[in-house]
Amino acid sequence: MRRLLLASSSPYRRELLSRLQLEFDCRAPEIDETAQAGERPEQLVRRLALEKAQALAPTHQQHLIIGSDQVAVLGERILGKPYTFERARQQLQACSGKSVSFLTGLALLDSRTGTAQVDCITFAVHFRAINDQQIERYLQAEQPFDCAGSFKAEGLGISLFRATEGSDATSLIGLPLIRLVDMLNHAGIEVP
């Protein structure tokens, strides 16, 4: 069986990929994640997912390399990872009572041939109206400062939602497993 490589240092993506019960390695790609002038969010995540996989191809020439990237979009504004309590508070205040689209770029690169399957999976989160005290309690409890949108859907963050909408809930956490299984099957890796 071909070796799988996850081009990510994310513990969330690593945990998700382990659900498929396939052996894989992880390496962090070193790429510039800056958006290009005029680049739309969907274009950005597709490009970055592929670039992450391509960055590891020269040193992993017999692998199927999985790249993924995600942005949260509120209106026309991209919400990145907040990294600080104050920025997370501002993001959640802006999201209160609104809908946020999560766009997850996914790439599966065959490093032997250079061929790649690339897609973008969209998932919507409809936030409850949340007040400052709820935001404060949530941020103190879960500290989601490394998560786009300032919440962890797999944890207490679910309490901030009134609804979610999309074909693959794992895309919200950063690695759309349903689409990835399609890609792996197409590449000759049978799952399950």
- The residues assigned a catalytic role are 69
Output the 3-class SS for 17-49: HHCCCCCEEEECCCCCCCCCCCCCHHHHHHHHH
CA distance 160 to 156: 8
Largest CA distance in the chain: 53
CA distance 175 to 69: 8
